Copies of this chain bind each other. A is one copy, B any other.
């Protein structure tokens, strides 16, 4: 297909496609003339992946290269490819966590049984940072409560992964990664929105049950 059709199929503007070509984020098409080339389905899949990373994941353009390199390097497993994208999607904490918070974060990950999470995953630092903030604010969960909390989150994530990454041997690496990002980011926003609604409901129940402070 020609550039104009590629743009229509992928929902990415012609000027952005040209930028991705220059940056090496999109492989060149088959040249059919001085300024013309033909593109195929892999180009559509790559552009849809880039669009989801940019628009849904808010991944900075600078980070796209690392992700695309992981997709294109077929000596890296799907798991390693997912890892590169996970890292790009993780908010870096504003400050390095203290070692006590980091040890606490590692304990929680182990207790949850998430043994496949790399020890150098930036998400462990992010969790350590949040543990530090919560302790600072005086909120506190006991060991049994953490256990219940981790179990609930684990159920939710297992449900999402199994539902959103269906077994699909025919899917190419770009499509597998796009599905992972949608599951990760869009359903993350979903969980937060549903959770706010559930909080509003349960808070209302508590407020009407409990003593009204007037």
Contact = CB atoms under 8 A, between A and B. Distances in A.
Contact of A200 (B74, B83, B137, B156): B83
A198 B157 contact: yes
A48 B186 CA distance: 33
Given A190-B130, A194-B127, A200 B116 contact: yes
A62 interface: no
Report copies per complex.
2
Contact of A203 (B82, B153, B198): B82
B159 A206 contact: no
B203 A165 contact: yes
Contacts of A191: 153, 191-192, 195
A74 B214 CA distance: 5
B77 A207 contact: yes
A93 B201 CA distance: 21
A180 interface: yes
A177 B79 CA distance: 43
A159 B158 CA distance: 19
A214 B159 contact: no
A208 interface: yes
A130 B191 CA distance: 10
Interface stretch (A14-22, A33-41, A168-176): A168-176
7 contacts: A78-B213, A82-B200, A114-B201, A133-B186, A149-B156, A153-B194, A161-B206
